[in-house]
Chain A
Amino acid sequence: MISCRRAAAWTSRELDAALNPAARSLLGFHRLVCGNCRRYGRQLAEVDAAVGGFLADGLPESARLPDAARERITQALRDASGG
C-alpha cells in the first residue's frame, strides 16, 4: 500500500486531473483504509476551491495604494496623456 505521504502528494495531483488510472486506484484503495487521507482529500479540495475563490473575487480589504505610488502613477498617466 502507498504511504500517507505519497497519498498526500497524489491528492494534490488528483485536484488537477493529473493522476494516471493506476495511481488513482492505489489512492482510492489507500483511502478505504485510511481515515486521515480520506479527510485530507475532502479538506484539500475545499482549501483549493477557497483559494480559487479568493483569487477570483477576494481582496485584502485593508490595503490602500500608498500615497507616493498614487502620486507617481497619476503623474505617469498625466505625462502619457499629455495632460
Chain B
Amino acid sequence: MSHTPQLPEHLRGAPLDPHGWVERHGDYLYRFALGKVGRGEAAEDLVQEALLAAWRGRARYGGRATERSWLTAILKRKVIDWLRAAVRNRGRVEPGDDGWVDKQFRGGKWRTGPDEWEADTPGAGVERREFWEVVSGCTGKLPPRLRDVFVLWHLDERPTDEVCQAAKVTPTNLWVMLHRARLRMWRCLTRNWYGVDPDDREGRAEP
C-alpha cells in the first residue's frame, strides 16, 4: 500500500489498492457523473470506466492530489468525452424550431417579462445544498440535446472552435442551443428559487 506523506491521514488513499475505491468514493463519483450527464445508467458506466482507467494508469498517480481528486479528474475527462459523443450523435438543431421559445415572446416582445428576483444565489451551507438540488432539477428538465450541449460548454475548457469540432456542431448551432438552454434555466430557476413564475403575473405591463 502506498500513502501520500504530505496529506493528512484522513485524506490519504490507497492508490494501488482499488478494492476500496467503490466503498470510499463510489457515491461521490456517481453523484459527480449524474450531475453532469443526467442519466443514471450512463453515470454508472462512466464511474466504472473511470475507475478501470485509473487502475490502468495508476503509475501516473504521483500523490500530489488526494485519491478522490485524482479519480474525479479522470472521471471528468470521461464525462466530457461522453457529452461530446452524445451531442455528435444527436445531430444539429434547426434555428427556427423551438415551440417553447416561441411561446415566451409575442410580436417579438416578452410575453411576460422578467421581474426583479426576490432571492439571492446562496453563498454556502445548507441553503447552498438546497440550491444545488434546484439547479440539478432544472438541468434535468432541459431537453436532452440542449442539456448535453449546455453542460459540455461549461465543463470543456477548450476554445469554441475545438468544442464545436469535437461535438460536430457549427458555432451558430452552438449559440442557438446555448440560448435555448439558458432561457429555460432562467425560467426554471426564477420559478423555483429566485422569484415567481412569470406566468403568475398575467397582466403586467410589457416594455
Contacts and interface: CB of A to CB of B under 8 A. Distances in A.
Interface residues on A, range: 35 or more
B93 interface: no
B109 interface: yes
Given A5-B105, A36-B110, A62-B133, A51 B26 contact: no
A44 B27 contact: no
Nearest to A81: B18
Interface of chain A, main secondary structure: helix
B90 interface: no
Interface residues on B, range: 35 or more
B47 A73 contact: yes
A69 to B, nearest CB: 4
Contact of B114 (A16, A43, A61): A43
A22 interface: no
Contacts of A4: 105, 108-110, 113, 207
Contact of B19 (A6, A16, A64, A78): A78
Given A5-B105, A60-B34, A70-B26, A18 B171 contact: yes
A70 B135 contact: no
9 closest A-B pairs by CB: A3-B108, A36-B113, A58-B132, A12-B179, A65-B30, A59-B31, A69-B44, A39-B114, A54-B135
Given A6-B108, A47-B185, A59-B28, 12 more contacts: A3-B108, A8-B104, A12-B183, A16-B175, A33-B207, A36-B206, A51-B154, A55-B151, A60-B133, A63-B27, A65-B22, A70-B22
